[in-house]
Amino acid sequence: MGPGTVIVGTGQAGFQTAASLRSEGYEEPITLIGEEPHIPYQRPPLSKGFPLGQQDFESIQLRPGRFYQDHHIDLLAGKRVTAIDRHERQVRLESGARIPYERLVLAVGARNRKLAVDSGDLDDVLYLRSLEEAMAVKERLQSAQDIVVIGGGFIGLEIAAVACTLGKSVTVLEALPRLMSRAVAPIISDFFRELHASRGVKIICDASVSEISGSRSKVQKVVLRGGTAFPADLVMVGVGIVPNVELAQEAGLSVANGIAVNEYLETDDEDIFAIGDCAEHPCVFAGGRVRLESVQNAADQAQRVATTIAGRRSCYCALPWFWTDQFDIKLQMAGISQGHERIVTRGDAESRKLSVFYFKQDRLVAIDSINRPLDHMIGRKLIAGGVPLTPEQAADETVDLRKLEHAVAQQRSEPASH
């Protein structure tokens, strides 16, 4: 038996690669190495049910500890990989130990983007990505009263909703003119702005933070350029993430906005793959190369790499989808809306049932849905299958999307006429 597959990273992508390799019948050794001292866990609850106390660590573990023994997955938690020796086909650990590989999967994820503004040695300026960070946030949320969230993206808004639900005074400062602006249309941004405002969260857009100040290591306020100050005894920062590309870069692999891979998720070295938050890959649904930060992307890419390593090399072409939970509202997103030229809607914000259909060159590229789950699920099939849908049909409630999708699917499955 050879050295098998080494997976670096114990997030959703790393875990799923190991699990899928075994379910694909792969019998070689699997070594799963991660810096975090824990067994693999889900990250999405860390900004939702976990700080609210609805979920604990046990309930967010991707699998219980014995899963790894039962499936002969050698889990090295709390170990950092410091280098890849491509010539010797080994990874080197901080301890100096070397682990040989036949195939190497980089599922190394990303790290929090730090604020450009210096907060010095102030405590209580917290970021949120790892379990440790989530535990700190959860603990500080108990006693803090005035919470300023910097960043009105998914993570910032999710944690703002959590803090508000816990009865705190919450202010969200977003640098851009509207919330979640990289991901959704203005109508969705407006909906969430209203939602947060209705619960008492103060939302300030076009807010450029110039200073975070305090005394004796206690944070006291966040000051905007222009001078407006917001009192704070806890500052939460959610301004995006930066992919961990250094390991690949130092090994001479191509890096762009992430570790560069082809449609098979292979780096320049065909025995080294990169997947999940760290990987920049060609995406037919985006019409170009993208790096996506999502559970779907991590899990589907992991599955695909596992299939390839198990001997059936196959292209990655899964439809991206995303979700966010804020208060009692779930926003479901299918496809990639960036670069859209036109939108049409079904439902409306007043009824809290709304879908936004995004079109690019008259082709449906994405759907965002609030309380219209069937639009989202059928939408995934429509987009993935390239089912023709005009903006007029999308806007017309009487057009049954499910029937339309079924009709096209049936037509396509019929044998071609002679």
Applying CB under 8 A, the residues found at the interface with another protein are 16, 23, 42, 44-45, 59-60, 63-64, 66-67, 70, 295-296, 299, 303, 321, 323, 325, 330, 332, 371, 373-374, 376-378, 380-381, 402
Least distance (Å) between residue 195 CB and another protein: 18
CB of 224 to another protein, least distance (A): 35
| Closer residue to another protein (CB): 31 or 297 | 297
| Closer CB to another protein, 127 or 321, in the complex | 321
What is the nearest approach in angstroms of another protein to the Cβ of residue 316? 13
Instruction: For residue 386, give the DSSP letter.
Output: T
What does the alpha-carbon distance between residue 179 and residue 162 come to, in Å, rounded to a whole number? 17
CB of 402 to another protein, least distance (A): 7
CA distance 234 to 50: 18
Residue 184 CB, nearest distance to another protein (Å)?
17
- Distance of CA 52 to CAs 15, 48, 135, 142, 328, Å? 25, 7, 11, 10, 13
Closest distance between another protein and the C-beta of residue 323, in Å?
5
Element containing residue 158 per DSSP (H, E): helix 154-165
- Three-class DSSP category at 41: strand
Distance between CA 227 and CA 204 in Å, rounded?
Answer: 14
How far from 228 is each of 181, 192, 211, 231, 341, CA to CA, in Å?
23, 24, 10, 10, 36
The structure tokens 């046990």 sit at 58
Reading across the β-sheet that carries 321-326, which strands appear in turn?
321-326, 329-335, 363-370, 353-360, 342-348
Chain length of the chain: 418
What is the three-class DSSP state of 102?
coil
Identify which of residues 230 and 285 has a Cβ nearer to another protein in the complex.
Answer: 285
Select 45 or 109, whichever has its Cβ closest to another protein. 45
Pairing of strands 353-360, 342-348: antiparallel
Judged by CB, which is closer to another protein: 197, or 374? 374
Q: Which is nearer to another protein, 31 or 369 (CB)?
A: 369
Nearer to another protein, 193 or 304 (CB): 304
User: How far apart are alpha carbons 204 and 88 in whole angstroms?
Assistant: 54
**Would you say 125 or 305 has its CB closer to another protein?**
305
State the nearest-atom distance from the C-beta of 389 to another protein, in Å.
Answer: 17
- What are the Cα distances from residue 384, in Å, to 286, 367, 377? 12, 12, 11
Q: What is the dihedral of CA 368, 369, 373, 378, to 10 degrees?
A: -40
Minimum distance, C-beta of residue 43 to another protein, in the bound complex (Å): 9
Return the number of the residue (68 or 230) whose C-beta is nearest another protein. Answer: 68
Contact 127, 237 (CB under 8 A): yes
Residue 413 CB neighbour total at 10 angstroms: 7
| Minimum distance of another protein from residue 60's CB (angstroms) | 7
Tokens 């170009």 correspond to what residue?
288
Distances (CA, A) of 144 to 55, 137, 359, 380: 21, 10, 44, 41
> Which tokens is 22 given?
């075994």
Q: How far is the CB of 368 from another protein (least distance, A)?
A: 14
Question: Cα 64 vs. chain centroid, distance in angstroms?
Answer: 23
Of 68 and 101, the one with the shorter C-beta distance to another protein is 68
**Nearer residue to another protein within complex by CB, 173 or 389:** 389
Q: Which residues pair with 103 in a beta bridge?
A: 5
In whole angstroms, the minimum distance from the beta carbon of 364 to another protein comes to 16
